[in-house]
Structure 1
Amino acid sequence: MTAVAPPPAAALRTPVESSPVSVRDMTVAYQRQPVLWNVDYAAKPGTLVAIVGPNGAGKSTLIKALLDLVPRASGDISFFGKPYREIRQRVAYVPQRTSVDWDFPVTAWDVVTMGLYGRLGWLRPVTRAARRKSLDALEQVGLAEFAQRQISQLSGGQQQRVFLARALVQEADLYLMDEPFAGVDAATERTIVGLLRALRDAGKT
């Protein structure tokens, strides 16, 4: 019997150019105090990945650093082999619900339509097709009947689904979600899990 040596570790890694997000030797510091350091990771296309850890472990900081929302002390990040600024339309972000000003006077439909501005442009009028896309996204999360409801009048679970719809309407290839299940009801959790699985089955990450 001939023994077959396992492939080297490098051969098991996802190539940077094909990885939805690749992180190399990233360190993030606040006031020169490192909070994340030596982070290395490359996601595989079409997978669901969870960032797990206690409060204060740096989960939100990691996602924000990927999106250039907080400065990095060192390290390289690429999305599909390119810098975020060159490929941001392929990346959708769902922030923590607690980080949003829910008293801002906009409707659920307005929030979802904001996800289209990257393609439409901020100063261009919203087309009929874009309006339809926003309504379709709200329907996917079970909130079509609340399209004209002020976001401040929605429950916590409904607010989370509105931001999920905003991500869906972007038709991205990579979805980054910060605490998507925090403070939501069981129905919303089932909706989110079902949509995440559908996105994965469609080849999204």
Structure 2
Amino acid sequence: MALFATSLELLQRRRLALSVTLGVLVGLAMFALGEQPAADDSGMGAFLKMVPPGAVNKGAVIPSFDASGRRTSLITADVVRRVDDERLYAEKLVVQMFNADPGKDLRIDLKTAFYQMAASGGVLRSTERSRVSRPDFEIEGDGLIFDTAKNQGRMTGNIRMVIFDSGSLSGEGTSPSKPRPTK
């Protein structure tokens, strides 16, 4: 559990989770709506109030870009559905978050997920086996909860984490070994 908390703190320091999550949520809402709101109508609630409950989108692909045009995230889902006034449901949801350093790219795989909307953010929740992976670690658990307002996540249930390069998590690089003198 401590390693997972350390991993989340690392992601928070890099500000990757917040920017991508906000991009993801706006992207999901824009995909569900199919258009952009008026300039004076901002916020997630404004997007989702225009999407009727029960609206289903299949084969969703939602990219997100920063101001310079660099792709920051890509969301794919087999199905995205507006459940009611406050919830979105997704099946086979994959969230890929891209960083300037490809070694820090992150991928989240969720079989099913709900996004609970709120005025100050929202909560992404999955009660099925979930996976978060990066080139240097992979963590799986029986459930995942991520609060976008607090930028905090928690994995629950039977958790398994594999760290491929512990030096990258501690901030220490792998130093090359000293050459051995030859006789």
TM-score normalised over the length of structure 2: 0.23
Bigger fraction of residues in strand: 2
Which gives a bigger RCO, structure 1 or 2 (Cα 8 Å, sep 6+)?
1
Bigger fraction of residues in helix: 1
TM-score normalised over the length of structure 1: 0.21
